[in-house]
Chain A
Amino acid sequence: MYKIVNAEFLAENIKRFVIEAPKIAAKRKAGQFVIIRLNDGGERIPLTIADSETANGTITIIVQGIGKTTKELNSLNTGDFILDVVGPLGKASHIEKFGTAVSIGGGVGTAIAYPTAVALKQAGNHTISIIGGRTRELVILENELKQVCDEVYPTTDDGSYGFHGFVTQKLKQLIDNGTRIDFVLAIGPIPMMKAVAETTRPYGIKTVVSLNPVMVDGTGMCGGCRATVDNKTVFVCVDGPEFDAHLVDFATLERRNRTYKESEQEALHEHLCHFDKAFEQGLKLNN
């Protein structure tokens, strides 16, 4: 059992958890992930480690409630427990002094990009962060990033905050204004990562993305997370999760991620029905 020592919402539906997991905290490097299972009937889902504190023996994960498991997780609070947390899994981000490095986070992807942005800064890069959200509330970790990065540019699709437009438009603007960019890391929804890859491709800027396929064991045993990179099949859990954005077949990734769409809806529906029932029962009891 792994104790949640702190849980707080960063935005609507996006919650930060600090979890007691001393072994993982001591070992994890930027870019690695954990697999969690909430309870006995629970599924195993991968979540990138956003941060850790060795002294306290804690890791941080940031979760957007989308499916049944992430919504259920986001209903947990400080003091609650998670049944299984295993990791750190996957290969660490490849960090070196590139020169100027841009880390781009879309929505909750910012949480995943954050540790690598920190590592890039520590490696001596001039570090720029572009953090996007649909609207102001969904731009997360701006203050945290400002403390480590040389430049931070929030963007919103609706113009409610920061740069009005997509992260790719901000990136293009930087390139057009003559900023020399040596490395780009992009993490977020698949269409965003794909768009970043297409933005940097003509300039030949080395670009890395972190893939988020469906996983079960997370150790190479099942092959469910396979993706196509450079026309070859890779297992994201052991070969990644980070890959050269210019070689990733995003269409296949997006398609494979839809495999359980119907089941996810069904599970979520069941979950919400149970929740409603429990809520009704609660009302009855109270009345």
Chain B
Amino acid sequence: MPELSKKDRMKIPRQPMPEQDGVVRSGNFKEVNLGFTEELAKMEALRCLQCPKPVCIDGCPVEVKIKDFIHLVAEGDFLGAASKIKEDNMLPAVCGRVCPQEEQCEAKCVVGVKGESVAIGRLERFVADYEREHLGLKTPELKPKTGKKVAIIGSGPSGLSCAGDLIQSGHDVTVFEALHELGGVLVYGIPEFRLPKDIVKAEIDSLKSLGVDFQTNAVIGFTDTIDELMQNGYDAVFIAVGAGLPYFLNIEGENLNGVYSSNEFLTRVNLMKAYKFPEFDTPVFNVKDKTVAVFGGGNTAMDAVRTSKRLGAKNAYIIYRRSDAELPARKEEIHHAKQEGIEFLLLANPNKFIGDKDGWLTGVELIKMELGEPDASGRRKPVPIKDSNYVLNIDMAVIAIGNGSNPIIQQTTPDINFNKWGNILVDEESMATSKKGVFAGGDIVTGGATVILAMGAGRKAAKAINEYLTQN
């Protein structure tokens, strides 16, 4: 590796991510980002200053040893880099794709102070993909069996990361999944073009090879209650069921035909493969040459609107009540959406949906907004502009404004404490709930958040569960 001065390193521009052309990809479900080549990855890795105090790590919820893995990439030891990441993150191929790095590690990156930060996420993705393609499954060493059994409820990011850590600590782990397929939001929510399902499957297969037992079609609360799991020999339980109860706008006309929650729309398309209807049996509203409006400005809203474009929508709108600057989605997703021809109607809020005599959606009445004083969240509060209402003709609407808490665990486990929004109350350090031996993490605790935060919670819980099982 050439010895480069700090100055030389700073001169290297951030390497662009090769991607499918915007017009071409808006007609297919293949992945948008194609990933770094070895050359691009090495070049990008050389941009890292190898800071004595790598502050980037402070920005990572699972504290991946970023400096060390990037050093290995620069040296061309890609497999070594992969092992280094996997010391802290069991799902790097997923995180490299869907983490909001620009708000986390990359936001802290020293190179980013004056120029563009090191593309840590893209390097993570490259390394994980390289390992998968060149080595296949690699089995880390497992500690001797402890004879203890842990039940994990939910096979989303939080459950998977917890399972990965606990199996390595020598415990027996069973993951229960309510749906027929494993992966939670990674398979029903995030579309193929952003996170190919093969990658999720490979990550899950790697856990299976370590001995994690997966049971699908198991709705804990109904199929078995948490008490029954504990009576049946599980020494600890980790609840990682996600948020899983979509919010609606609570406005007139919301139950018209053609109005979906983002969960339903994305589940039909991603999990049930409605985009291949009638080859697959599940239908979804046929948006071909129609107009679609997605309400919300987060990553899920971007996923939904870009999906509708791929299904052939003529016009696809994001409708968001604040301005461009406040859009909560990742910058990259917004940028990609715009490239694909998504139109952004900002500072607009829906008043009511309008339908025809047969109950099909035909339009939405919007009101224009302006930004007022900052609210509790620190963002400027959107205020309606009087008499600015107008009607936008639309054929399908998708509500992507977040999720409340699924009630099934609460209804069936009376001795776990919940807050008034239905989130489980846990000790912040140990993720322990009010019920002995039961831990919880991810969106069911925090409300809707990100994949990496859920994974961080899963790891934290795994550590606490391991300690609990050692002591009990």
A-side interface residues toward B, CB under 8 Å? 23-24, 27, 37, 41-44, 68-69, 83-89, 216-217, 219-224, 226-228, 233, 235, 238, 252, 255-256, 258-260, 262-264, 266-267, 270
Q: Interface segment, B263-271, B345-353, B464-472?
A: B263-271
Q: Please give the distance in Å from B177's CB to the nearest CB on chain A.
A: 10
| Pairs A–B under 8 Å by Cβ, sample size 22 | A23-B224, A27-B222, A43-B281, A43-B282, A68-B281, A83-B180, A84-B216, A84-B217, A86-B180, A88-B222, A88-B223, A220-B408, A221-B263, A222-B263, A224-B261, A226-B255, A233-B255, A258-B358, A259-B285, A263-B283, A264-B283, A267-B278
B393 within 8 A of A: no
Give the complex CA separation of A69 and B281 in angstroms. 8
Give the complex CA separation of A104 and B83 in angstroms. 64
Task: Specify which of A69, A85, A228 is in contact with B255 (CB 8 Å cutoff).
Answer: A228
Q: Please give the distance in Å from B174's CB to the nearest CB on chain A.
A: 14
Establish whether residues B408 and A219, one from each chain, have CB atoms under 8 Å apart when the complex forms.
Answer: yes
Q: Specify which chain B residues have a CB less than 8 angstroms from the CB of A216 in the assembled complex.
A: 264, 267-268, 272, 282
Q: Please give the distance in Å from A127's CB to the nearest CB on chain B.
A: 27
Q: In chain B, what residue has the closest Cβ to A225? A: B264
Which residues of B from 210 to 258 have beta carbons under 8 Å from A? 216-219, 222-224, 244-246, 248, 250, 254-255, 257-258
Main secondary structure of the interface of A (DSSP, over half): mixed
Give the complex CA separation of A24 and B188 in angstroms. 25
Give the complex CA separation of A42 and B254 in angstroms. 28
Give the complex CA separation of A37 and B216 in angstroms. 13
Establish whether residues A224 and B255, one from each chain, have CB atoms under 8 Å apart when the complex forms.
Answer: no
A87-B178 contact, Cβ under 8 Å, with A69-B281, A223-B264, A252-B359: no
Q: In chain B, what residue has the closest Cβ to A267? A: B278
Give the complex CA separation of A219 and B154 in angstroms. 13
B-side interface residues toward A, CB under 8 Å? 178-180, 188, 216-219, 222-224, 244-246, 248, 250, 254-255, 257-258, 260-261, 263-264, 267-268, 272-273, 276-283, 285-286, 358-359, 406-408
Give the complex CA separation of A89 and B406 in angstroms. 14
Q: Specify which chain B residues have a CB less than 8 angstroms from the CB of A270 in the assembled complex.
A: 278
Give the complex CA separation of A255 and B361 in angstroms. 12
Task: Specify which of A41, A238, A256 is in contact with B281 (CB 8 Å cutoff).
Answer: A41
Give the complex CA separation of A260 and B254 in angstroms. 17
Residue among A85, A86, A262 with most chain B CB within 10 A: A86
Q: Specify which chain B residues have a CB less than 8 angstroms from the CB of A27 in the assembled complex.
A: 222-223
Establish whether residues A219 and B277, one from each chain, have CB atoms under 8 Å apart when the complex forms.
Answer: no
Give the complex CA separation of A84 and B283 in angstroms. 19
Give the complex CA separation of A208 and B217 in angstroms. 29
Establish whether residues B217 and A223, one from each chain, have CB atoms under 8 Å apart when the complex forms.
Answer: no
Task: Specify which of A69, A85, A222, A228 is in contact with B267 (CB 8 Å cutoff).
Answer: A222
Q: Specify which chain B residues have a CB less than 8 angstroms from the CB of A258 in the assembled complex.
A: 257, 358-359
Give the complex CA separation of A257 and B123 in angstroms. 48
Given contacts A44-B282, A86-B217, 20 further A-B contacts (CB under 8 A): A23-B224, A41-B273, A41-B281, A43-B281, A86-B178, A216-B264, A217-B267, A219-B178, A221-B406, A222-B246, A222-B261, A222-B264, A222-B267, A226-B248, A233-B248, A238-B245, A255-B257, A255-B358, A258-B358, A260-B283
Establish whether residues B406 and A220, one from each chain, have CB atoms under 8 Å apart when the complex forms.
Answer: yes
Q: In chain A, what residue has the closest Cβ to B265? A: A222
Q: Specify which chain B residues have a CB less than 8 angstroms from the CB of A69 in the assembled complex.
A: 281
